């Protein structure tokens, strides 16, 4: 296949066109002018855009990365030459399914080409899957290193050995391992599942047998417990009837005696209440007579003493008469002095008048003191009499006599009430003792009577029956969840057959994997030298034979052996340019060995020579020019060096965009 012309609405490209030559085409464009976009467009036209891809590790998927800047849907055409015919591939779509819609027509016509499956365009035109294409002929920017995959390994193996592309050691090993894992992988897989289910079924069948035996035992035990319970129930019922009759008779007699005494006590307490009301209505209340007598004695003596004190100081009339006498004497002496009746002059003449005045004043003070004292005594007497509600001391004595009589009646009523109460308490105590005795007769668990012993045996029978019923209920519950033993036995036979079959398959698959692994090692030893040899030849051309050999593993990781040295150098010990040259050699060797020659898959390189020095760049261009005789090669570069080196080559097309 050869690419003739590209027209793209893709990323930064807005209906841009790019025409390529048949052999080697060098497309020059400065950075950020669309080189990688054209590479992505070529791959999209061949294999479409994955609309389900998501951003991973900061790398945006192609559906986002190459979304047209113009806002228009992704679309484009690619004119190709395929099997001697000119075809035009067209793709378009919508935002949710970019580049999904595909058509192919003969170029310049509307006639559809029907031999290209729209679901496998790249596989049909190039003969390889997208994975193989990306690992061989499509060298993206900064992604020159190769890598192994089952598909690529299958194609290399096919070319080196038999030409068959139907099998791969890696794929076969993986399929065998998957088949083995499907049957057994540690504790997972069908065989462990069967073993687990067989164990569960056998345990379930054993449990069914145990439960069946348990059910028979419970049925027999339940019948025996019911019979024993019914026998004891009838016996206890008869014994309790007789005990209840005797108990009721004794209780009736005891309660009648209590009622009689309670009635008598009620009467005595009414009499006592009357006596208490009398005492409570008196001045002395319920005080003891001895205490009342002592208090009355003190109060009457105080009254007599107060009366005696009130009589001291003479009568009021006499005191006022003396006061008047002294006052008249003072006035008389004053008049006599004024009329000069007394022939006394000087101080001596005043002495009689002063003496009479002083005596009159002293008598007045005496009268006031006596009156105040008598007033206080009268108040004290009144206070004492008021406490008793009496007018005289004799009234107080009369009240005391009445209190003594009422108190005696009260004491008699108390004594009688206490006597009846004591009798009632004794009778109640006797009744309580009788009740306890009777209740003891009715307490069939605590008493040692025949009825109590029978009741205890009945309780034991009830407990035994309840226990058996509970156990039977649990047994019935377990029966409801147990699986049908007939179905379980059928399933057991089925699983045993499947286990035997899978065990044989597992053993056979394990043996096959061991055999294939050994064979795969031999195949690898045949494949890798072929690829390593061709890689070394190409690498020698690029490096002017500076390295003698190249070593590759199954994953296409490379190491180079310098000329005259016996130790291979890993890529970590090579310069960046040498590493790029080594993996370019690997890629080109893979293209020769793995890609179908009849499809002539184009090689697309995006700045693949950027780390080459001028000398090795020239050698690489010569190598590409040589290989371009067999297949179309398109080199995108941001340097003018490559176009300058090839400007005089007539079979190289230089394109500047």
User: What distance in Å separates the CA atoms of residue 393 and residue 404, rounded to the nearest whole number?
Assistant: 17
Looking up tokens 């009620």 gives 266
Of 229-243, 343-357, 491-505, least confident by mean pLDDT is 343-357
Give the per-residue pLDDT at 168.
53
Give the per-residue pLDDT at 625.
94
CB count within 10 Å of CB 23 equals: 19
If one compares 47 and 273, the residue with the highest pLDDT of the two is: 47
Give the per-residue pLDDT at 247.
75
User: What distance in Å separates the CA atoms of residue 375 and residue 368, rounded to the nearest whole number?
Assistant: 11
pLDDT over 50 (residue 159): no
pLDDT band at 17 (very low <50, low <70, confident <90, very high): very high
If one compares 492 and 269, the residue with the highest pLDDT of the two is: 492
pLDDT band at 443 (very low <50, low <70, confident <90, very high): low
pLDDT tens by residue, 107-154: 999 999 888 888 889 999 998 888 888 888 999 877 766 555 555 555
Q: Residue 546 is encoded by which pair of tokens?
A: 């500076």
pLDDT tens by residue, 254-277: 778 778 877 877 887 887 788 778
Residue 201's closest CA among 476, 477, 480, 491? Answer: 491
User: What distance in Å separates the CA atoms of residue 589 and residue 599, rounded to the nearest whole number?
Assistant: 16
User: Is the separation of the CB atoms in 96 and 67 below 8 Å?
Assistant: no
DSSP 401-428: HHHHHHHHHHHHHHHHHHHHHHHHHHHH
642-656 mean pLDDT: 94
544-563 burial, b if ≥16 CB within 10 A, otherwise e?
Answer: eeebbbbbbeeebbbbbbbe
Q: Residue 342 is encoded by which pair of tokens?
A: 């007394």
Range from 11-15, 221-225, 287-291, 388-392 that averages highest in pLDDT = 11-15
Residue 527's closest CA among 516, 537, 515, 519? Answer: 519
First and final C-alpha spacing in the chain: 24
pLDDT over 60 (residue 75): yes
Which is it for strands 652-656 and 24-28: parallel, antiparallel or unpaired?
parallel
Share of residues in the chain with pLDDT > 90 (%): 22
How many H-runs (helices) and E-runs (strands) does the chain carry?
16, 13
User: What distance in Å separates the CA atoms of residue 362 and residue 365, rounded to the nearest whole number?
Assistant: 5
CATH topology of domain 1-127+597-657: Rossmann fold (3.40.50)
478-507 mean pLDDT: 86
User: What distance in Å separates the CA atoms of residue 588 and residue 623, rounded to the nearest whole number?
Assistant: 10
Q: Where are the domains of the chain?
A: 1-127+597-657, 209-278+428-469, 284-388
Q: Based on the number of CB atoms within 10 Å of its own CB, is 322 exposed (0-12), middle (13-18) or buried (19 or more)?
A: middle
pLDDT over 90 (residue 471): no
User: What distance in Å separates the CA atoms of residue 251 and residue 238, rounded to the nearest whole number?
Assistant: 21
pLDDT tens by residue, 548-592: 788 887 677 888 888 878 788 888 888 888 888 888 999 899 888
CB count within 10 Å of CB 10 equals: 30
pLDDT band at 158 (very low <50, low <70, confident <90, very high): very low
Looking up tokens 């669309």 gives 34
User: What distance in Å separates the CA atoms of residue 329 and residue 337, rounded to the nearest whole number?
Assistant: 12
Range from 145-159, 161-175, 215-229, 643-657 that averages highest in pLDDT = 643-657
Give the per-residue pLDDT at 171.
63
pLDDT band at 19 (very low <50, low <70, confident <90, very high): very high
User: Is the separation of the CB atoms in 459 and 445 below 8 Å?
Assistant: yes
Average pLDDT, the chain: 82
pLDDT tens by residue, 307-357: 777 777 667 777 778 778 877 877 777 676 666 655 555 556 567 767 777
pLDDT band at 160 (very low <50, low <70, confident <90, very high): very low
pLDDT band at 414 (very low <50, low <70, confident <90, very high): confident
CB count within 10 Å of CB 463 equals: 12
If one compares 64 and 480, the residue with the highest pLDDT of the two is: 64
pLDDT over 90 (residue 39): yes
Give the per-residue pLDDT at 167.
44
Partnered with residue 461 across adjacent β-strands are none
User: What distance in Å separates the CA atoms of residue 47 and residue 121, rounded to the nearest whole number?
Assistant: 6
DSSP state at residue 162 = I
In this structure, what are the phi and psi dihedrals at residue 76, rounded to the nearest 5 degrees? 175, 170
User: What distance in Å separates the CA atoms of residue 255 and residue 259, rounded to the nearest whole number?
Assistant: 6
User: What distance in Å separates the CA atoms of residue 446 and residue 412, rounded to the nearest whole number?
Assistant: 47
pLDDT band at 447 (very low <50, low <70, confident <90, very high): low
Q: Based on the number of CB atoms within 10 Å of its own CB, is 505 exposed (0-12), middle (13-18) or buried (19 or more)?
A: middle
DSSP state at residue 241 = H
Contacts 24+ apart (CB under 8 A), 184-187: 184/506
If one compares 551 and 10, the residue with the highest pLDDT of the two is: 10
Of 62-71, 417-426, 458-467, 518-527, least confident by mean pLDDT is 518-527
User: What distance in Å separates the CA atoms of residue 208 and residue 213, rounded to the nearest whole number?
Assistant: 9
290-316 mean pLDDT: 79
Give the per-residue pLDDT at 7.
97
pLDDT over 50 (residue 388): yes
pLDDT over 50 (residue 162): no
Residue 125's closest CA among 80, 155, 166, 192? Answer: 80
Residues whose CB falls within 8 Å of the CB of residue 232, separated by 6 or more in sequence, listed in order? 454, 457, 458, 461
Share of residues in the chain with pLDDT > 70 (%): 88
How much is the pTM? 0.49
Q: Residue 110 is encoded by which pair of tokens?
A: 């509307």
Q: Based on the number of CB atoms within 10 Å of its own CB, is 445 exposed (0-12), middle (13-18) or buried (19 or more)?
A: exposed
User: Is the separation of the CB atoms in 44 and 62 below 8 Å?
Assistant: yes
């Amino acid at each position: 296949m050869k690419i003739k012309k590209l027209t793209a609405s893709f990323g930064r490209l807005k209906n841009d066109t790019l025409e390529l030559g048949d052999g080697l085409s060098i497309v020059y464009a400065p950075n950020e002018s669309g080189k990688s976009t054209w590479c992505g467009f070529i791959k999209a036209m061949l294999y479409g855009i994955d609309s389900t891809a998501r951003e991973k590790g900061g790398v945006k998927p192609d559906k986002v990365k190459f979304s047209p800047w113009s806002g228009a849907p992704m679309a484009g055409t690619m004119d190709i030459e395929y099997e001697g015919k000119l075809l035009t591939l067209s793709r378009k779509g919508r935002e949710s399914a970019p580049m999904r819609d595909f058509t192919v027509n003969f170029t310049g016509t509307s006639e559809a080409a029907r031999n290209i499956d729209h679901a496998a365009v790249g596989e049909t035109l190039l003969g390889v899957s997208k994975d193989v294409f990306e690992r061989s002929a499509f060298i993206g920017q900064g992604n020159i290193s190769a890598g192994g995959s089952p598909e690529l390994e299958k194609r290399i193996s096919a070319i080196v050995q038999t030409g068959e592309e139907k099998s791969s050691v890696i794929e076969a090993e993986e399929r065998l391992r998957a088949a083995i894992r499907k049957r057994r992988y540690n504790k997972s897989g069908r065989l462990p599942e069967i073993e687990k289910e067989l164990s569960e079924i056998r345990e379930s069948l054993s449990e069914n047998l145990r439960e069946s035996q348990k059910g028979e035992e419970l049925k027999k035990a339940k019948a025996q417990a019911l019979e024993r319970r019914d026998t004891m129930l009838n016996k206890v019922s008869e014994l309790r009837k007789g005990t209840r009759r005797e108990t009721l008779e004794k209780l009736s007699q005891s309660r009648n005696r209590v009622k009689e005494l309670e009635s008598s006590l009620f009467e005595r307490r009414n009499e006592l209440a009357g006596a208490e009301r009398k005492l409570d209505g008196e001045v002395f209340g319920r005080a003891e007579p001895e205490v009342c007598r002592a208090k009355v004695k003190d109060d009457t003596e105080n009254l007599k003493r107060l009366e005696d004190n009130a009589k001291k100081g003479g009568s009021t009339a006499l005191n006022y008469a003396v006061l008047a006498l002294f006052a008249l004497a003072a006035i008389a002496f004053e008049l006599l002095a004024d009329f000069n009746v007394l022939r006394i002059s000087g101080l001596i003449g005043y002495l009689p008048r002063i003496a009479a005045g002083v005596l009159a004043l002293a008598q007045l003070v005496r009268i006031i003191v006596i009156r105040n004292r008598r007033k206080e005594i009268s108040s004290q007497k009144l206070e004492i009499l008021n406490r008793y509600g009496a007018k005289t001391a004799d009234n107080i004595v009369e009240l005391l006599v009445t209190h003594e009589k009422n108190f005696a009646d009260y004491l008699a009523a108390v004594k009688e009430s206490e006597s009846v109460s004591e009798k009632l308490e004794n009778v109640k105590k006797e009744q309580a003792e009788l009740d306890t005795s009777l209740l003891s007769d009715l307490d069939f668990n605590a008493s040692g009577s025949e009825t109590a012993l029978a009741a205890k045996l009945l309780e034991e029978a009830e407990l035994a029956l309840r226990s058996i019923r509970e156990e039977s209920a649990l047994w019935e519950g377990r029966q409801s969840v147990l699986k049908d033993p007939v179905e379980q036995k059928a399933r057991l036979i089925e699983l045993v057959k499947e286990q035997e079959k899978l065990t044989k398959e597992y053993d056979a698959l394990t043996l096959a994997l061991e055999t294939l692994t050994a064979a795969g090692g031999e195949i690898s030893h045949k494949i890798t030298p072929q690829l390593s040899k061709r890689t070394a030849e190409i690498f020698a051309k690029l490096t002017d034979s500076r390295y003698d050999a190249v070593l590759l593993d199954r994953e296409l990781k490379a190491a180079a052996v310098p000329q005259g040295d016996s130790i291979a150098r890993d890529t970590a010990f090579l310069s960046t340019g040498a590493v790029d040259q080594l993996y370019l050699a690997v890629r080109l060797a893979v293209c020769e060995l793995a890609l179908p020659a009849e499809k002539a898959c184009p090689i697309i390189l995006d700045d693949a020579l950027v780390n080459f020095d001028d000398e090795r760049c020239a050698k690489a261009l010569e190598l590409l020019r040589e290989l371009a005789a067999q297949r179309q090669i398109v080199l995108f570069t941001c340097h003018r060096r490559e176009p300058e080196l090839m400007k005089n080559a007539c079979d190289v097309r230089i394109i500047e965009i």
